Amino acid sequence: GQSLEQPSEVTAVEGAIVQINCTYQTSGFYGLSWYQQHDGGAPTFLSYNGLDGLEETGRFSSFLSRSDSYGYLLLQELQMKDSASYFCAVTLYSTLTFGKGTMLLVSP
């Protein structure tokens, strides 16, 4: 089976940089995805790492190290609207297995 661990909550201030870590145990997977969810609304896709290294999309970056079974999501220039839950997920062939999520609270 698969298991993913991520912190339950992270707090930061506007304009800061925050890193949300994800460690996983899985046998065979395509890559690591990240999703954002505001206030119990529909989760939305943020990024995907199929290879080791850093992927950058605007203010968000995501990193994967398969040898360390570890990844992270980096959010820069934090804004109040970034307050949300963030989920890492291992991508299997047809399905995703999600972590329990990290609630990010951004304060002024």
Partner 1 sequence: NAGVTQTPKFRVLKTGQSMTLLCAQDMNHEYMYWYRQDPGMGLRLIHYSVGEGTTAKGEVPDGYNVSRLKKQNFLLGLESAAPSQTSVYFCASSYRAGGGNEQFFGPGTRLTVL
Taking residues 30 to 49 in sequence order and writing x for each that binds partner 1 by CB under 8 A, - otherwise, the string is xx-x------xxxxxx--x-
Task: State how far the Cα of 62 lies from the Cα of 53, in Å rounded to an integer.
Answer: 8
Q: Which is nearer to partner 1, 95 or 108 (CB)?
A: 95
Q: How far is CA 7 from CA 28, 50, 72, 85, 101, in A?
A: 23, 22, 11, 11, 7
Q: Which is nearer to partner 1, 9 or 14 (CB)?
A: 9
Amino acid at 34: W
Which phi and psi (to 5°) does residue 81 adopt?
Answer: -70, -10
Residue 91 Cβ vs partner 1, minimum distance, rounded to whole Å: 6
Task: State how far the Cα of 56 lies from the Cα of 98, in Å rounded to an integer.
Answer: 21
Residue 69 Cβ vs partner 1, minimum distance, rounded to whole Å: 17
**Candidate residues 18, 84, 101, 104; the one interacting with partner 1 per rule CB under 8 A:** 101
Footprint on this chain of partner 1 (rule: CB under 8 A): 8, 30-31, 33, 40-45, 48, 50, 87, 91, 93-101
